């Protein structure tokens, strides 16, 4: 039971999942998932392809039936309700607009089904079109719109009936990079103004980091960590997450004492108080946490290597430094792109770096 890991303090979450499992034949896609989501939160299910994110979202919508476990929305057990009796709006990756209907008719569809009055429908659709910035496009057909515009129509359609919950299944992944970033911001702004509880499925860690209040990281049908984007980034609870979220250097080491490890002949300082003497551990350190320094005799977790490659990445540069003392392992080090000192890097030069001890996370090995 994972309740203790993924529960919030809030006694009355907007959405709660208890011990939910789902199999397709012999394959278990979701394994005993329990989680709580607060009213008004923007939450992301994040994980590699095939980890079960979409299946979990579809179980919340009633588009898949779980084998066991329950889903509660505002304390009401909705586990067995068909999708049409649940309170949500959904946007899929593939727009899923009706090609033979205009933008207006794509949006008013749900309202007609709910037997809204004609005049109310017109007001509502025009309001929604304004909200997503598409007032001018109301009589166009989906094929006459760009991918980003189609996704905004899909968003307006999902919001038409004022659902209590918005479900977004990889809504941005079919779009090109620039449109994706613009729409990311529009969805966030929309969420901020509507305060609507939102769950978005994504495999893109940067997208989750930039949009979510809270991230549930999934792998192989399980939630393996949940927390704010900052918590997940800075306190990844496993090497898998440290590697999946952002870029990380890993080093194999052996524990010497409560604050020292050894990598071949080199001794580094870091907090190993939770690990046994002589045990094998994995150190993780982010490229931006490593500093390029002048070589000094003082012991400050310094090591030198030769600069094997430089990647210019716009606002920063990534140096690839091969450390012979670490059996020629390459460390990535991020430095600013614009200072004169950084521009002076040349391939092959010897660079001294410092691994600040507080920036090193230690994981047990294997």
- Residues found near ligand ATP in the complex (CB under 6 A): 24, 29, 47, 49-55, 203
Residue 53 Cβ vs ligand ATP, minimum distance, rounded to whole Å: 4
Q: Between 184 and 286, whose beta carbon lies closer to ligand ATP? A: 184
27 Cβ contact list (under 8 Å, min separation 6): none
The residue (of 86 and 203) whose beta carbon lies closer to ligand ATP is 203
Percent helix, strand, coil in the chain, to 5, is 30, 35, 35
Report, in Å, the least distance between residue 4 CB and ligand ATP.
Answer: 24
Q: Taking the complex as a whole, how short is the minimal distance between the CB of residue 365 and ligand ATP, in angstroms? A: 28
* Residues 293, 303: Cα–Cα separation, whole Å: 10
Q: Which is nearer to ligand ATP, 6 or 53 (CB)?
A: 53
**What 3-state class would DSSP assign to 118?**
helix
Which pairing describes strands 266-269 and 350-354: parallel, antiparallel, or unpaired?
A: unpaired
- How many Å apart are CA 123 and CA 119, to the nearest integer? 6
CB of 55 to ligand ATP, least distance (A): 3
Q: Which is nearer to ligand ATP, 221 or 239 (CB)?
A: 221
Of the chain, the end-to-end C-alpha distance in Å amounts to 23
Nearer to ligand ATP, 47 or 89 (CB): 47
220: helix, strand or coil: coil
Query: Smallest distance, Å, CB 173 to ligand ATP?
Result: 8
Tokens read off for 33: 């998932």
Q: Compute the distance between CA of residue 155 and CA of residue 157 in angstroms, rounded to an integer.
A: 5
């Amino acid at each position: 039971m994972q309740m203790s890991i993924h529960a919030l303090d809030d006694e009355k979450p907007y959405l709660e999942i208890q011990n939910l499992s789902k199999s397709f034949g012999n394959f278990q896609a979701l394994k005993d998932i329990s989680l709580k989501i607060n009213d008004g939160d923007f939450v992301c299910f994040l994980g590699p392809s095939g980890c079960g994110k979409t299946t979990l979202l579809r179980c919340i919508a009633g588009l898949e039936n779980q084998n066991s476990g329950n889903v509660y929305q505002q304390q009401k057990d909705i586990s067995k309700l068909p999708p049409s009796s649940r309170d949500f709006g959904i946007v899929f990756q593939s727009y899923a607009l009706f090609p033979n209907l205009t933008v207006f008719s794509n949006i008013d569809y749900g309202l007609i089904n709910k037997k809204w009055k004609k005049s109310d429908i017109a007001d509502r659709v025009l309001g929604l079109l304004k909200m997503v910035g598409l007032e001018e496009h109301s009589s166009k057909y989906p094929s006459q719109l760009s991918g980003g515009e189609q996704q905004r129509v899909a968003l307006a359609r999902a919001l038409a009936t004022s659902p209590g919950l918005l479900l977004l299944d990889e809504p941005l992944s079919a779009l090109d990079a620039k449109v994706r970033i613009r729409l990311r911001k529009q969805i966030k702004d929309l969420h901020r103004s509507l305060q609507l509880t939102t769950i978005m499925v994504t495999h893109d860690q940067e997208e989750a980091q930039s949009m979510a209040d809270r991230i549930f990281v999934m792998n192989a049908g399980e939630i393996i960590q949940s927390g704010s984007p900052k918590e997940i980034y800075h306190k990844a609870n496993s090497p898998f997450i440290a590697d999946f979220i952002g870029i990380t250097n890993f080093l194999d080491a052996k524990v010497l004492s409560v604050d020292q490890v050894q990598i071949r002949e080199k001794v580094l300082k870091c907090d190993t108080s939770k690990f046994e003497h002589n045990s094998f551990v994995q150190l993780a350190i982010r490229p931006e946490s490593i500093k390029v320094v002048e070589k000094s005799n003082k012991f400050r977790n310094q090591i030198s290597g030769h600069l094997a490659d430089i990647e210019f990445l716009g606002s920063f540069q990534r140096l690839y430094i091969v450390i012979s003392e670490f059996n020629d392992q390459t460390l990535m080090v991020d430095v600013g792109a614009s200072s004169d000192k950084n521009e002076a890097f040349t391939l092959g030069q010897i660079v001294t770096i410092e691994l600040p001890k507080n920036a090193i996370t230690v994981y047990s090995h294997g």
